Amino acid sequence: MNLTFLGTSAGSPTSERNVSSIILDLLQERGKIWLFDCGEATQMQMQKAKYSLAKLEMIFLTHLHGDHLFGLPGVLTSRSLLQNQSPLTLIGPKGIKEFIETVTRVSYSWLTYPLNIIEIEHDDTVFEDKQFCIKARQLEHRVPCFGYRIIEKERPASLNIDKLKQDNISSGPLYAQLKQGKTVTLEDGRVINGLDYLGDAKPSRKLAILGDTIPCQSSIELAEDVDILVHEATQEDILQDKATERGHSTTVQAATIAKQAKTKRLIITHISPRYSLKDNDQLVNEAKSVFANTDIATDLASFQV
């Protein structure tokens, strides 16, 4: 599981940063990728990061401001040019269905695959299957805006293949039964317990990806004890009043949320265009003064969860 930042700028793109979009790489876990927000040029950034639209399974939007949304029509319609496309699920605040219907109608575009649009208006579990549970909570911004808590369910223990080989237990259908912890009888008469060949269950991973927000209780609850918290840090701390006025957070405020939530690692993003990459050290050091394990995202940077 990896996070790749396709865009890290707030409001508008710069020569160094595209606007908001994040890939959650689940290729190993489910052979798919998920997209969080979809600012303009997202599909071009995906190409640079070598991710295919064919692998896109779900899109989660935090809110409907243009810097998080305007790349969506291109992603959806370009995906229609591919053959044999699987269904796609789009989750976001109320209004996204009208936006997609309007832009496809006015532009004479079409989709060649089923698009399932789920509009959210309040805190809810927006997705759950045997692998993941995704919870959404409303944040505090100028428009309805959500953060997402992604919870991986406990992964089953793996078979100790080396130990099996040492005990002269050949690979085959019995391996599936052993992985389930069953007791089986081998052809040579030996009776073995699958539990003796299982490692420890792999701990689940958790992360929180928040939209634009001032510090609020929902942010803390979403980020509680996660492995990675992605939090906006639009302004440096000296501009806190400006950030608050526009519904945003500063570097120190993002770090304070991470500390209060007992987050393991913080990645700040959504950086104001007033800052260039040369300012990254100043911004990240402000956050580190409160929460030491902080990184600042740059376009196309990847982080392992």
**Active centre residues (catalytic):** 67
Q: How far apart are the C-alpha atoms of 109 and 75, rounded to whole Å?
A: 12
Closest CA to 42 of 277, 125, 61: 61
99 burial (CB, 10 Å; 0-12 / 13-18 / 19+) is middle
Query: Judging by DSSP bridges, how do beta strands 266-269 and 228-232 pair with one another?
Result: parallel
Contacts of 103 (CB under 8 A, 6+ apart): 73, 109
Residue in the block written with tokens 């790489």: 25
Give the pair of three-digit tokens for residue 278: 């040369």
Q: How far apart are the C-alpha atoms of 191 and 138, rounded to whole Å?
A: 55
Residues in the chain: 305
Give the pair of three-digit tokens for residue 139: 């944040």
Provide the 3-class DSSP secondary structure of residue 260. helix
Produce one character per residue of 195-232: b if its CB has 16 or more CB atoms within 10 Å, e if not. eebbeeeeeebbbbbbbbbbbbebbbebbeebbbbbbb
Contacts of 246 (CB under 8 A, 6+ apart): 142, 234
Q: What is the per-residue DSSP string for 177-206?
A: HHHTT-EEE-TTS-EEEGGGGB-PPBPP-E
Provide the 3-class DSSP secondary structure of residue 279. helix
Residue 143 and residue 63 in contact, taking contact as beta carbons nearer than 8 Å: yes
